[in-house]
Amino acid sequence: MNGSGTQATGNPSAINAIRYSPVGTMAASETSASPNKARWTSERVLSLLQAASQHGICSYQAAYQHHSSLPTVARRLFGSFAAACHAAGLIGASDARPQYVLCTVPDCGLPTRSSGIPFCEKHYMRVRRHGRTGKHQVPEIYVHSSGYLLAYAPQHPLSQRHSTNREYQHRIVYYDHHGEGPFRCHWCGKPVSWNDMHVDHVNGIKDDNQIANLVAACPKCNTWRDQEKNLLALRAKTGRHITFNGECRCVSEWARLIGITPSALRERPINGWTVERALTTPRSKTGPQSDRAGHR
């Protein structure tokens, strides 16, 4: 039934490279210089429909996205889009009927939207919206644009504090482990409750939701923690950081701590200082001169 793929391949790039005019002749080709005139044939429609189909059901929308002329041409060549889908073997050839009375989705049994469409209104709209007759599945957990994990937890006490079915996973983990509170801010000790507290990732990794990595933080501490984490991220990005005694700072921060300029600090190893000596020795008369005093 599938025309053995001689007319068109399902190669999306090849299809995207060619644009067809509504009457069905090839209008222009931006990338391919091949003068090969691809005409709309039944075989071509069927193989394109098969390429566009997902999960055995060819939706109008999927076909349109695959090739904007496909639904129109399919209707013209096969009488209706659904009939073309049937011909392509996409909606179970065994119960294929030219006209539909009832929705073809198992256990639905509602009358079809119109005789040329194999779905009832509900299933038709689902196929229109997301290309499947099944209910749209919301993922249990997904990564929010902020980088935190968001969980679907309509029954959780935290979700019920606000009107959505979702809650950040780190808050759920903290709640399930520590309960209703109240708590104290891990950083300043101020009393906090679920109404105002933040759950802070100690190591700064937003999706590391192990309980050992989570602490309660008041809004104020959470703000400076954010800045701290941004600094960490910046250091990791620039790669100009020095780790010493378990502390990771960039050159200018180490320099500020020691009380010298960054360029003076950079000069210390060049002058043969060990890292330990360079990072622990404050400004001294014997050390290398700072930028301001030395080079000018």
- Asked whether 110 and 126 are in contact (CB, 8 A), the reply is no
- Asked whether 255 and 261 are in contact (CB, 8 A), the reply is yes
Could you say whether residue 57 binds Zn ion (CB under 5 A)?
Answer: no
Could you say whether residue 123 binds Zn ion (CB under 5 A)?
Answer: yes
Q: How far is the CB of 4 from Zn ion (least distance, A)?
A: 33
Q: Token pair of 191, please?
A: 């009393």
The nearer residue to Zn ion, 186 or 241, going by C-beta atoms, is 186
Could you say whether residue 103 binds Zn ion (CB under 5 A)?
Answer: yes
Q: How far is the CB of 246 from Zn ion (least distance, A)?
A: 23
Q: Token pair of 264, please?
A: 């003076």
Q: Which stretch binds Zn ion (CB under 5 A): 117-125, 164-172, 272-280, 283-291?
A: 117-125
Binder of Zn ion out of 14, 38, 108, 232 (CB under 5 A): 108
Q: Token pair of 278, please?
A: 């360079």
CA 222/CA 202 separation, integer angstroms: 11
The nearer residue to Zn ion, 104 or 169, going by C-beta atoms, is 104
Binder of Zn ion out of 188, 211, 233, 293 (CB under 5 A): 188
The nearer residue to Zn ion, 77 or 102, going by C-beta atoms, is 102
Strands 183-184 and 166-168: unpaired
The nearer residue to Zn ion, 51 or 120, going by C-beta atoms, is 120
Q: How far is the CB of 109 from Zn ion (least distance, A)?
A: 7
Q: How far is the CB of 146 from Zn ion (least distance, A)?
A: 21
Could you say whether residue 91 binds Zn ion (CB under 5 A)?
Answer: no
Q: Token pair of 209, please?
A: 């939701």
Other Cβ atoms closer than 10 A to 69: 19
For the chain, what is the radius of gyration of the CA atoms?
A: 32
Q: Which stretch binds Zn ion (CB under 5 A): 104-112, 195-203, 229-237, 262-270?
A: 104-112
Residue 103: helix, strand or coil by DSSP? coil
Q: Name, in order, each residue with C-beta under 8 angstroms of 80's C-beta and a sequence gap of 6 or more.
A: 116, 117
The nearer residue to Zn ion, 14 or 108, going by C-beta atoms, is 108
Q: Which stretch binds Zn ion (CB under 5 A): 43-51, 177-185, 243-251, 268-276?
A: 177-185
Q: Token pair of 258, please?
A: 């020691």
Q: Which stretch binds Zn ion (CB under 5 A): 54-62, 122-130, 141-149, 270-278?
A: 122-130
Could you say whether residue 120 binds Zn ion (CB under 5 A)?
Answer: yes
DSSP letter at 10 equals -
Binder of Zn ion out of 85, 88, 173, 185 (CB under 5 A): 185
The nearer residue to Zn ion, 135 or 295, going by C-beta atoms, is 135
- Asked whether 241 and 235 are in contact (CB, 8 A), the reply is yes
Strands 149-152 and 141-143: antiparallel
Query: Residue type at 224?
Result: W
The nearer residue to Zn ion, 105 or 153, going by C-beta atoms, is 105
- Asked whether 101 and 65 are in contact (CB, 8 A), the reply is no
- Asked whether 161 and 199 are in contact (CB, 8 A), the reply is no
**β-sheet bridge partners, residue 143:** 149
The interface with Zn ion within residues 199-258 (CB under 5 A) comprises 218, 221
Query: What residue ranges bind Zn ion (CB under 5 A)?
Result: 103, 105, 108, 110, 120, 123, 185, 187-188, 190, 218, 221
